[in-house]
Amino acid sequence: MTRYIARSPDVAARTIGGELMIMSGRDSSLFSLNETAAALWEAADGATPLAGIVDRAICARFDVAREEALADAEALAEDLARHGILVVSEAPIPR
């Protein structure tokens, strides 16, 4: 199943001290993303399939097996979607 991810418009995000911080506009919960999670967030354009994002933004930059990276990315995307800071869809997400 192909999945697409996009950054939610209802969040605030800024990199401070080298750390990407994101606050949910829905429930004010605060997240600090590590380097790989931040790479996923930055690449979440709604148009590129998640697997493509993992290839381009994760596997090309970090020493990690593709299957493992894809499984981690799917779990992270679901977690962030539950808090309303990422949108996950089976179709491209219009911006």
19 binds another protein (CB under 8 A): yes
Separation of alpha carbons 69 and 11, rounded Å = 25
Q: Kindly indicate which of the ranges 15-23, 41-49, 57-65, 87-95 contains the residues binding another protein, using the contact rule CB under 8 A.
A: 15-23
Separation of alpha carbons 44 and 19, rounded Å = 17
Helices (H), ranges, 1-95: 35-43, 50-53, 66-82
Residue closer to another protein by CB (options 46, 84) is: 84
Q: Kindly indicate which of the ranges 20-28, 51-59, 63-71, 75-83 contains the residues binding another protein, using the contact rule CB under 8 A.
A: 20-28
Separation of alpha carbons 92 and 45, rounded Å = 9
Choosing from 21, 51, 88, 93, the residue that interacts with another protein (CB under 8 A) is: 21
Residues that bind another protein (CB under 8 A): 10-12, 14, 16-19, 21, 23-26, 28, 30, 32
